[in-house]
Structure 1
């Protein structure tokens, strides 16, 4: 066996078809006072090299929290040449094991690091904000096989507090047949929420309510997310009105209507509103209302209803009696007779 005192060059050739790695070493040795170049070619078979590169971490995070993104990979008798992290197309972190120091950070808006916890696998992001949102990637290059693989995933930062949604109605009670209007809202959010309505504990089909967003006047990146519901009040049923699909009907029981909503955003937020009760008010009739109804009653048999200018028979009879008594009294006075009448 010939040993090599010094190695001038080493060249590796990787063949993916067979998974073989050829390593060539060029050596110089002293032989009879002359240098002779010797080439050693060794074969390492069955080498898979770098594989299964994947980026792992949360997809949705609240603003202000910390995030760890982990770049995992499998090596088979190989070693890492470099690991790079990107947001969109911009590199912000690089790890090269053979460099001193091995970590390099590149400034990028919306990204702050805890450098102590960053290594060949992990990147630690501190106090993320809406500006942190983007498509993150890790690119891993192997040293011996020169393979490079990239894994990616989206990271969305969400601005939302923990307050429950709020229900507002036009008025606390309605007459049967009136259209009741209600809205369920969550303010100061960065994304539109998903709303679910419940009337008397029965879920209202999503096609029967619509959703809008109202931009925040002070913070352009935030909004108020609102769901609008309109339904017809009734003693035993309500009609949910949908302006875009023609509406629909859902049968319910009970005079009063109990209303509740739920708001959700990704896997970060799911809250119920406080339940409110909308009363169904039955019409009440006062004497004045009855007089009004009499005056507004339709004509009978097509005849007009008019006030009569003739006195009633009772009034006529009273006048005749009075005149008769006055005649009797006058006649009796002429004859010296006196009468006493009690009316």
Structure 2
């Protein structure tokens, strides 16, 4: 490394300056920076035990310092010149259904700089790199649960195909500009892979009819999923009071690591629980915004039975006629259950007496 080489390295800092600036201003910046860096390098070399006479070693130290300044410090000094890499947006889907594709997007504005690379990381591990000057520009790094669709991936997006549960995690996009700045910007987002239930929620333990004062004890069981479904109970369309809820309970299947959620409902039946004689019990199962299923049962209230009405009816033997009954009764000896029967008996007695009197008269004559 010669003095001319070090000066050239300093002049390369003018990359951030507008190209319309006069050339003398570029050299002026180089002349101002050179003695400062050289002095600092000399002090640093002396601390390391390097003699000042070893000019080559001091120049190397100056070059290292200048590179550090170029990458860390000067990029902030020259941002106002219009050369500042900006990360516009990183889009990571919050939830992705298992066995489907997921698209990760990274949008940036180079603002005059040249793109050096775009890198993608999952939980701190790099799995995708795009360097436009390389052939081919895409390089993949194996990572469990991550399979990149290279045909649908480029500098601004990465497509993951057939994601599984291992693909859940924190994804980060890192964009770097070309030399001499190597300015780097990054942002991240979390993605959760969801295994949906294969069946809707089931209600168990109920009866077809309930009376006032009965106890309702029922369970709602969601299908196996990952993560476990969130369950809610509704009574006649209104969410059940938390005091009536039992659970939730989550059971994990060790074979596939899927989870089953169970939520109980327990309460004493009251008049207000019946609407037009029916009571509707509904269970709702949800997973974020990707799953929404419910199950509802309608039960009847037992209607009170009316008390039986006792009726007194006279049984007429089939061998007797009405005339036989009248003659056999003679004077009305049977108890009269009503005024109507009393009047009837009186009339019958009167007619019977009259007929007897007529019969006697006829016999006398």
Q: Normalising by the residue count of structure 2, what TM-score does the alignment of the two structures yield?
A: 0.60
Q: CA deviation at 1:237?
A: 2.5
Conserved in 2, the CA contact under 8 Å of 1:85 and 1:138? yes
Q: What whole-Å deviation, never above 9, does each CA across 1:225-259 have from its counterpart, x for those lacking one? A: 1221111112x135xxxxxxxxxxxxx64443111
Aligned to 1:92: 127
Conserved in 2, the CA contact under 8 Å of 1:213 and 1:223? no
1:280 aligned to 2:301?
yes
Query: Structure 1 residues 207, 111: closer, same or farther in 2, change over 3 A?
Result: farther
Aligned to 2:211: 175
Cα distance in 2 for residues equivalent to 1:134 and 1:54: 19
Aligned to 2:99: 64
Query: Structure 1 residues 283, 84: closer, same or farther in 2, change over 3 A?
Result: same
1:52 aligned to 2:87?
yes
Q: After the TM superposition, which segments of 4 or more aligned residues of structure 1 sit over 6 Å from their partners?
A: 283-287
Structure with greater strand share of residues: 1
Aligned to 2:4: none
Conserved in 1, the CA contact under 8 Å of 2:197 and 2:222? no
Cα distance in 1 for residues equivalent to 2:149 and 2:138: 12
Conserved in 2, the CA contact under 8 Å of 1:200 and 1:259? yes
Cα distance in 2 for residues equivalent to 1:233 and 1:45: 73
Alignment of 1:282-321 (within 5 A): none
Conserved in 1, the CA contact under 8 Å of 2:198 and 2:223? no
Aligned to 1:246: none
Aligned to 1:155: 191
| Unmatched segments (≥5 aa) in structure 2 | 1-7, 31-77, 309-365
Aligned to 1:112: 147
Aligned to 1:35: none
Cα distance in 2 for residues equivalent to 1:116 and 1:180: 57
Structure with greater helix share of residues: 2
Number of residue-to-residue matches in the alignment: 244
Of structures 1 and 2, the larger Rg is shown by: 2
Cα distance in 1 for residues equivalent to 2:239 and 2:223: 23
From 251, 261, 267, give the equivalent of 1:215: 251
1:195 aligned to 2:235?
no
| Unmatched segments (≥5 aa) in structure 1 | 1-7, 27-42, 239-251, 288-343
Q: Normalising by the residue count of structure 1, what TM-score does the alignment of the two structures yield?
A: 0.63
